[in-house]
Structure 1
Amino acid sequence: MTFELVCEIEPPTTPDLKRVRHQIGTLSTIAHSFLIPDNHIGRATVSSVAVAHEVEAMGGRSIACLNSRDRNLLGFRRDLLTAAAYGVDQFLFVYGDKPTSGNRTSDLTVRSMIDEARAFSPDLRVGAAAGLRPLPGWKRAADFLFLQAGFSMEALLRWREANPVDVPVYAGVLVLASANHARTLAAAIPDIAIPDDLVTRLTADRMAGVDAACAQVLAVRDSGAFAGVHLIPVSRYRDVESRLSATLR
């Protein structure tokens, strides 16, 4: 079975898709597919379905992320229709980060999005996100799972052993761009345990986060416990591609 690398794209907050195209072109040497977030970290971005269509137009395979936070049932059905018109047929459904302004809508949950997508078309592949805690039974109905990003292989393997599923599971691997980035994440997401020694290394070496993430990608691959990795390179996508392109060929 092929070990898959799903690379996350940073979607644009302006109508300019130039940087998106550059990310796709750069990471295409290592990526099997691309995940496009949906209004990630509570900021408005270009539609994930539109960016997924851009990936497909450049010859890549896309997974459009849709969150329940920003849409009601009618809006979700609109997104499914738009995706069908664009030929986008893979989705990751998530709850969504806390918005920076405004309120969360309450019409949809990830569970109801999965049910609605199944009713819309049996040909869609739909996935859900999972934290490093017991997996709810309804999430086992997803076609694939994206496991929360972390920095401990031991924790990933413990979760995998405690939550056996037959669908592909992709372990989250996040590139830390700097010590400040690490501290900001640790404050915002208490579930992410960032090793103190990594933060110390980041203070002295700007490549420490890239090196740690690439090493973890290889460790996940060598464990044989996961179908692949959901890699979040943030702004360091050029460095990540440079490190991994030779190793993963």
Structure 2
Amino acid sequence: MVHTGFSSEVVWEVDPPADGDPRSLSAQLDAIGDVVDSVLVPDNHTGRATVSSIAVARRVREHGLRPVACLNARDRNLLGLRRDLITCAFEGVDDVLLVYGDDPSVGSRAGDLTVRQMLDECRTQAPQLRVGVTTRLSRVPQWKLSADRLFVQVSYDLDAIRAWRDAVDFDGPVIPAVMVIPSVPMAERLAARVPELRVPSPWLDAIASDPAAGTELAIDLAERILDTGEFAGVHIVSGRQHLATAARLRSRSTSRSRCPVAV
């Protein structure tokens, strides 16, 4: 593995295939395999159908990388969740991230399952799992503090992330997310869909002048997050910019060293 210079875990979010062709996934894994510690696999993210996160997680393992499978509440009832927890054990997937799930692009939610119920089920039905939950930069509900680790929603403000972390009484690993913004129109669509993910004006100005700035800004923020020593890792959301982002991460590693990650 290339030394990225990070002393904490680099968690890379892949884009699961939306059809039965595994080549797009293989291309992503080939591009990132030497610069990441683990691979986060979304579960029908943005409310559209993709290959099962557990099936993709198995491919990630076969590729020699550590998978983290997302499981959403939107597409499951309790029986479906128990099936998937058994499937995780069957496929050797021992790391999951529980999420509520965006509104579906077709149909409706499967039932009234909540992330809190999912966490309880994981503890009783699959105690071998390392279970993460997500949070915004706001008060964390008490029940979420019983998770093994917290994944923090995308933010562009390191000071805000640090202030939030200082206020949260949680002893487990905390992993903030950074997102590569490839264009101003994409940033505008993102803000319309999720207002709290509005991209700051300085980023927009830089990206308008040079689209490659989106990659540079994201990797710079990731490095600064980890350089604080206050976080267990960083979650990189590169979207379709995985080649450029992995290359940039790799190129910035030449003067830095990286310690092994304990798992």
Q: Report the TM-score, using the length of structure 2 for normalisation.
A: 0.92
Counterparts of 1:44 and 1:184, CA distance in 2? 20
CA separation of 1:208 and 1:246: change in aligned 2, threshold 3 A: closer
Amino acid at match of 2:112: D
Counterparts of 1:208 and 1:216, CA distance in 2? 12
Counterparts of 1:136 and 1:107, CA distance in 2? 19
Structure 1 residue 52: Cα displacement: 0.3
Q: Which residue of 1 is the match for residue 194 of structure 2?
A: 189
| Secondary structure class of the residue paired with 2:153 | strand
Q: Are 2:52 and 1:30 equivalent residues in the alignment? A: no
Amino acid at match of 2:175: Y
Q: Which residue of 2 is the match for residue 131 of structure 1?
A: 136
Moved over 2 A (4+): 246-249
Q: Which residue of 2 is the match for residue 172 of structure 1?
A: 177
Q: Which residue of 2 is the match for residue 115 of structure 1?
A: 120
Structure 1 residue 80: Cα displacement: 1.1
Moved more, 89-98 or 190-199: 190-199
- Which one of 59, 63, 75 corresponds to residue 68 of structure 2? 63
Amino acid at match of 2:98: F
Counterparts of 1:121 and 1:11, CA distance in 2? 24
Structure 1 residue 2: Cα displacement: 3.7
Q: Report the TM-score, using the length of structure 1 for normalisation.
A: 0.97
Deviations 1:153-175 (A, max 9, x none): 11101110111311100011001
| Secondary structure class of the residue paired with 1:84 | helix
Amino acid at match of 2:156: F
Work out whether residues 151 and 193 of structure 1, in 8 Å CA contact, stay in contact via their aligned partners in 2. no
Counterparts of 2:197 and 2:167, CA distance in 1? 19
Structure 1 residue 136: Cα displacement: 0.6
Deviations 1:166-204 (A, max 9, x none): 110001100111111111111111112311121122222
What are the residue-to-residue correspondences of 1:1-249 with 2, within 5 Å?
A: 2-248=7-253, 249=257
| Secondary structure class of the residue paired with 2:245 | helix
Counterparts of 1:15 and 1:47, CA distance in 2? 11
Work out whether residues 177 and 236 of structure 1, in 8 Å CA contact, stay in contact via their aligned partners in 2. yes
Counterparts of 2:33 and 2:252, CA distance in 1? 15
Higher relative contact order (CA closer than 8 Å, sequence separation 6+): 2
Amino acid at match of 1:180: P
| Secondary structure class of the residue paired with 1:149 | coil
Deviations 1:28-65 (A, max 9, x none): 11110000000000000000000000000111000000
Amino acid at match of 1:10: D
Work out whether residues 73 and 107 of structure 1, in 8 Å CA contact, stay in contact via their aligned partners in 2. no
Structure 1 residue 245: Cα displacement: 1.4
Counterparts of 2:249 and 2:7, CA distance in 1? 16
5+ residue gaps, structure 2, are 1-5, 258-263
| Secondary structure class of the residue paired with 1:212 | helix
How many residues are paired up? 249
Counterparts of 1:184 and 1:140, CA distance in 2? 32
Amino acid at match of 1:98: D
| Secondary structure class of the residue paired with 1:186 | helix
Counterparts of 1:98 and 1:152, CA distance in 2? 27
| Identity among equivalent pairs (%) | 43
